[in-house]
Amino acid sequence: MQRICVIGGSRYFGKLLVERARAAGHQVTVINRGSNRPPAGVEHLAVDRDDEAALIAALGSSTFDVIVDQVCYTPVQAAITARAFAGRTRRYVMTSTIEVYDPGTAALPAVPVGTPVPEENVDPRAWRVATDLPWHEEAYLQAHYAEGKRQAEAVFTRDRSFAFASVRSAHVLGGGAQEFTGRLAHYAEHISRGEEIAVHAKTLPTVFIHYEELADLLLWAAIATDFTGPVNACSDGLLDVRDLAATVAAQTGREPVFRTVAAGGTTSPFSFDRHYAMSNARAKELGFTFSRIADWLPGAVAETVSASATPAA
């Protein structure tokens, strides 16, 4: 039995992670602001993770084998929790994102189109950290989401209080109404209604992961392995926006209607004109086995179509 603390863990794959860790017999503690209580048998610490004094007080004398941080978005948050958990855990796993590789958000080494992007393309050991930026402002944070994640990884990597690993997640799908971003529902609704889908003139593929697979990988990263540094998490296979729309069309019986957007224009989710599809080779070498996106996507689409069913026009 491991003592696992999950920061966040109140929805989607974080909630599933908590449920599966508890079902596997681990002692689980959830830290969030109290708006969502965890399942029975899970300890709950209701506290704002951004309030360092309150977080330390809530923790009391608690110690854990591993922390899984689902909701760290800035270097300021990372610095607070690194100090709060110093001496309380041997391992810290942070959920990060494919967006750290987006070449439109930072000066990154060029990767040829068609070559999967490896973890070393963003090295947190060398990444510059600036905690004096307005990370507390919601608009700034949203506009600098990828950079906030990169800098958060850098803070934890340089802290020597515990072993640190980051899981850079691909775009997450599945779960029907649980998929709170609404990105897959966007396609289900637009195609069902015959509404236009805005795409780039030349769309590039990206990578995805099912929310259940991501929950499994996070639990694996927490307790089944001792790797440090970043690891990419994506199912096998590539998919572009037209492929995704075709899968939705097969479920709805309606053909997608595409509208090409000029360079710099706003497109529908998952239409990309920049290449940053990740490689999952490192995770495989460490022992994790991925599914193929082609095996689970039709079921994920069917769930979403059912959840967001709209009468055809």
DSSP secondary structure of 267-288: --TT-BSS--PBP-HHHHHHT-
Q: Residue 312 has what pLDDT?
A: 42
**Beta carbons of 228 and 163 less than 8 angstroms apart:** yes
Q: Which CATH number fits domain 3-307: 3.40.50.720, 3.30.1490.20, 3.40.50.1980, 3.30.590.20?
A: 3.40.50.720
How many other C-beta atoms can be found within 10 angstroms of the C-beta atom of residue 133? 17
Distance CA 6, CA 14 (A): 8
Contacts of 43 by beta carbon, 8 Å cutoff, 6+ apart: 27, 28, 29, 30
Q: Residue 276 has what pLDDT?
A: 96
Q: Residue 119 has what pLDDT?
A: 98
Ranges under pLDDT 70 in the chain:
309-313
**Strand (E) or helix (H) holding 214:** helix 211-223
Q: Residue 148 has what pLDDT?
A: 98
Distance CA 48, CA 227 (A): 29
Any idea what the Cα angle at residue 153 is, between residues 152 and 154, rounded to 5°?
Answer: 90
pTM (two decimals): 0.94
Q: Residue 34 has what pLDDT?
A: 81
Q: Residue 59 has what pLDDT?
A: 96
Q: Residue 176 has what pLDDT?
A: 84
**Beta carbons of 233 and 94 less than 8 angstroms apart:** no
Q: Residue 14 has what pLDDT?
A: 87
Residue whose C-alpha is closest to residue 84's, from 181, 186, 7, 21: 7
Torsion-angle region of residue 74: left (phi > 0), alpha (psi -120 to 50) or beta? beta
Burial class (CB in 10 A: 0-12, 13-18, 19+), 280: buried
Residue whose C-alpha is closest to residue 308's, from 178, 198, 214, 208: 178
How far lies 74's CA from each of 25, 50, 144, 166, 195, in Å?
32, 10, 9, 14, 37
**What is the SS3 assignment for the chain?**
CCEEEEECCCCHHHHHHHHHHHHCCCEEEEEECCCCCCCCCCEEEECCCCCHHHHHHHHCCCCEEEEEECCCCCHHHHHHHHHHHCCCEEEEEEEEEHHHHCCCCCCCCCCCCCCCECHHHCCCCCCCCCCCCCCCCHHHHHHCHHHHHHHHHHHHHHCCCCEEEEEEECEEECCHHHCCCCHHHHHHHHHHHCCEEEEECCCECECEEEHHHHHHHHHHHHHCCCCCEEEEECCECCECHHHHHHHHHHHHCCCCEEEEECCCCCCCCCCECCCCCECCHHHHHHCCCCCEHHHHHHHHHHHHHHHCCCCCC
